[in-house]
């Protein structure tokens, strides 16, 4: 079953490659509500790869408990389908279906460990807030529909333009509702409270998927909606998003400093990283420089996805080996498996943004887009971001410190370090991307053109 799911995911890359090779101009379907452009092809590739890696992460876990293998893969694949729909949809209904299709299976998957109270608690929280967020998004959409009578993005913006409704308060209210709704999905402050509990309760591969793919889906939906529908009221939502972004980076970081559970640490770290990802969008809204903003956000998103998956892989390895969910118990553990130790170091310092690991380029393009116009909001966010990058280093470095520098807890431990082959593939793949992104960030250059095309049409 695992093999089938893996094969299917990989096979679905094939049409993407063909589309990419034969690409001339964006293809529209269903009366402009569905599009195949380079932007969507790249994101689809990203989603498929993430899901593939998640499957690899899951194999050993899912085989160790006997029940519902089929359902597990089925639900994850459904979520993938939702993510794919989001990247291509260009009308309100399709994108809503995509968003919900991507997140609904996750309600079930996050409660996968049936007998575990934490898992149940996390799933319930996630479910309740997920429903709330869906209704906020829908409410926002209904306002636009009421205002314009249109569902397709291109027609909405034409209508807004023709009727000079660009700065209508209804549009602004609608954008605020949508930002709040999607804010839950991407867990930005103040909509983040579910994330640490759910992350902690869910099986680790699912947590990895939640923090990477679900988040990315939310970001893509946000990018599409903000640029295609709400661009005209960017001055106003830009400021709101900027405040959210600053608060998210800072709060996520400060709380992450206190964590001793590696999953909760990564949960808060990913909250903080979300602040970095939306910062360029906020400034783009204010200045209208969407091209740099989207380039920065998407680049960050891609690099973040792989290094964060890698980080989850490494804590998965070590918490299994040490049998402890408190990383302070992992003293000197890297001596049992220097390979896993090096991987952990690479991923966590990449998250911290230390060259030559990929994370530095992600942070760099974000700073670059924040400073692109010399707007005061952008400069303030850049300064907040710089301070946060330093704070974050403290807790990212702490894991490496514990596993390399602390004394070995029980040197006599005879237990062999298990590093199964599927996990090795995940490690190799993510570490490769992390290094390539850091040393040859030129490969992201095409994203610059892609985002200009994306915003142009």
Partner 1 sequence: MELLTNGIGLTAVVFLPIISALVLTAIPKSQELLIKGFALVSSIVTFVLSVLLLPQFDFSNADKLQLGNKITWIKSINANYEIGIDGISLPLLILSTFITVLAIVYSIEHLPEPKSPKGFLALILVLETGMNGTFVALDLILFFVFFEIVLLPMYFMIGIWGDKTVRSVAGFKNQIETRLYASIKFFVFTLFGSAFMLLGFLGLYYRGNKTFSIPELIELGTSGAFTGTFATLVFAVLFLGFAVKVPMWPLHTWLPDAHTAAPTVGSVLLAAILLKLGSYGFIRIAIPILPEQAKAWAPAIAILSAIGIIYGSLACLAQTDLKRLIAFSSVGHMGFVMLGIASLTPIGINAAIIGMVAHGVITGLLFFLSGSMAHTYHTRDMGRLGGNMKLLPKTGALLGFTAMASLGLPGLAGFWGEFMALLGAFNPLEGLNVTIFRSSMVAGAIGTVLTAGYLLWMLQRVNLGEPSEEWNEMELHDADGYELAAWIPLVILTILIGVFPKLIFGATNDAVVSLLTKAFGG
Least distance (Å) from partner 1 to the CB of residue 291? 11
Nearer to partner 1, 214 or 451 (CB): 451
| C-alpha to C-alpha distance for 36 and 123, rounded to whole angstroms | 34
- Residue list 308-347, contact with partner 1 (CB under 8 A): none
Binding residue (CB under 8 A) for partner 1 from 115, 374, 411, 456 = 374
Binding residue (CB under 8 A) for partner 1 from 80, 144, 354, 433 = 354
Tokens of 39: 């932007």
Instruction: Measure the CA angle with vertex 84, ends 18 and 86; round to 5°.
Output: 130
Task: Kindly determine how many residues on this chain lie close enough to bind partner 1 according to the rule CB under 8 A.
Answer: 35
Cβ neighbours for 3, distance < 8 A, ≥ 6 positions apart: none
Pick the stretch among 98-106, 302-310, 355-363, 412-420 that binds partner 1 (CB under 8 A). Answer: 355-363
CA 30 to chain centre: 28
Nearer to partner 1, 175 or 372 (CB): 372
Least distance (Å) from partner 1 to the CB of residue 441? 5
Q: Is 32 left (phi over 0), alpha (psi -120 to 50) or beta?
A: left
- Residue list 380-439, contact with partner 1 (CB under 8 A): 382-383, 386-387, 389-390, 393-394, 397, 400-401, 404-405
Nearer to partner 1, 6 or 453 (CB): 453
Collapse the DSSP code of 245 into the 3-class scheme (helix H, G, I; strand E, B; otherwise coil) and give the result: helix
Least distance (Å) from partner 1 to the CB of residue 334? 10
Pick the stretch among 9-17, 71-79, 115-123, 363-371 that binds partner 1 (CB under 8 A). Answer: 363-371
Examine residue 349 and tell whether it contacts partner 1 (CB under 8 A). yes
The answer to whether 93 and 67 have CB atoms below 8 angstroms apart is no
The answer to whether 63 and 3 have CB atoms below 8 angstroms apart is no
Nearer to partner 1, 93 or 387 (CB): 387
Cβ neighbours for 299, distance < 8 A, ≥ 6 positions apart: 361, 362, 365, 444, 447
Binding residue (CB under 8 A) for partner 1 from 58, 207, 211, 372 = 372
Instruction: Measure the CA angle with vertex 323, ends 322 and 326; round to 5°.
Output: 80
| C-alpha to C-alpha distance for 217 and 269, rounded to whole angstroms | 18
Pick the stretch among 14-22, 24-32, 281-289, 353-361 that binds partner 1 (CB under 8 A). Answer: 353-361
Least distance (Å) from partner 1 to the CB of residue 388? 9
HSE-up (13 A, CA, CB side) for residue 294:
28
Write the CA distances from 431 to 298, 304, 344, 438, integer angstroms: 19, 12, 10, 11
Nearer to partner 1, 191 or 290 (CB): 290
Examine residue 444 and tell whether it contacts partner 1 (CB under 8 A). yes
Nearer to partner 1, 231 or 389 (CB): 389
Task: Give the chain's radius of gyration (CA, Å).
Answer: 21
Write the CA distances from 346 to 71, 281, 343, integer angstroms: 34, 28, 5
Nearer to partner 1, 209 or 395 (CB): 395
Nearer to partner 1, 51 or 388 (CB): 388
Cβ neighbours for 152, distance < 8 A, ≥ 6 positions apart: 31, 32, 33, 90, 91, 92
Tokens of 126: 């996630």
Collapse the DSSP code of 192 into the 3-class scheme (helix H, G, I; strand E, B; otherwise coil) and give the result: coil
Examine residue 290 and tell whether it contacts partner 1 (CB under 8 A). no
Nearer to partner 1, 195 or 296 (CB): 296
Examine residue 355 and tell whether it contacts partner 1 (CB under 8 A). yes
Nearer to partner 1, 140 or 441 (CB): 441
Place of tokens 């118990």: 329
Least distance (Å) from partner 1 to the CB of residue 375? 11
Chain residues that interact with partner 1, rule: CB under 8 A: 295, 349, 354-356, 360-361, 364-365, 367-368, 371-372, 374, 382-383, 386-387, 389-390, 393-394, 397, 400-401, 404-405, 440-442, 444-448
């Amino acid at each position: 079953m695992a093999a089938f799911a893996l094969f299917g995911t990989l096979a679905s890359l094939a049409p993407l490659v063909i589309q990419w090779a034969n690409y001339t101009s964006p293809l529209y379907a269903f009366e402009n509500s569905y599009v195949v452009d380079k932007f969507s092809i790249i994101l689809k590739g990203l989603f498929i790869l993430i899901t593939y890696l998640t499957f690899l992460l899951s194999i050993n876990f899912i085989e160790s408990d006997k029940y519902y293998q089929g359902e597990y893969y089925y639900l994850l694949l459904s979520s993938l389908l939702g993510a794919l729909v989001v990247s291509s949809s260009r009308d309100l209904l399709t994108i809503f279906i995509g968003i919900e299709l991507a997140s609904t299976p996750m309600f079930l998957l996050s409660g996968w460990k049936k007998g575990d109270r934490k898992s149940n608690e996390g799933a319930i929280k996630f479910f309740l807030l997920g429903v709330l967020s869906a209704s906020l998004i829908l409410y926002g959409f209904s306002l636009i529909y009421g205002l314009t009578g249109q569902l397709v993005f291109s027609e909405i913006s034409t209508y807004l333009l023709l009727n000079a409704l660009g700065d209508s308060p209804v549009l602004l209210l609608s954008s605020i509702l949508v930002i709040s709704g999607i804010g839950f999905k991407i867990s930005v402050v103040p909509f983040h409270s579910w994330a640490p509990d759910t992350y902690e309760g869910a099986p680790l591969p699912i947590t990895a998927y939640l923090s990477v793919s679900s988040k990315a889906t939310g970001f893509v939906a946000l990018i599409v909606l903000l640029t295609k529908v709400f661009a005209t009221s960017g001055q106003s939502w830009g400021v709101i998003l900027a405040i959210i972004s600053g608060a998210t980076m800072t709060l996520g970081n400060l709380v992450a400093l206190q964590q001793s559970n590696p999953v909760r640490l990564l949960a808060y770290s990913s909250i903080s990283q979300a602040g970095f990802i939306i910062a360029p969008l906020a400034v783009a809204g204010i200045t209208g420089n969407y091209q740099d903003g989207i380039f920065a956000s998407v680049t960050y998103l891609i690099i973040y996805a792989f290094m964060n998956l890698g980080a989850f892989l490494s804590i998965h390895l070590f918490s299994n080996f040490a049998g402890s969910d408190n990383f302070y118990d992992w003293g000197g553990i890297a001596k049992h498996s220097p390979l896993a130790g090096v991987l952990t170091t690479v991923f966590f310092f990449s998250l911290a943004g230390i060259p030559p690991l990929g994370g530095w380029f992600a942070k760099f393009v974000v700073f670059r887009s924040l400073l692109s116009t010399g707007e005061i909001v952008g400069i303030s966010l850049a300064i907040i971001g710089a301070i946060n990058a330093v704070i974050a280093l403290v807790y990212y470095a702490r894991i490496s410190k514990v596993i390399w520098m602390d004394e070995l807890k029980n040197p006599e431990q005879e237990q062999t370090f298990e590093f199964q082959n599927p996990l090795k593939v995940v490690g190799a793949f993510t570490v490769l991307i992390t290094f390539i992104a850091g040393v040859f960030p030129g490969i992201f250059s095409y994203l610059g053109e892609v985002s200009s095309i994306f915003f142009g049409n």
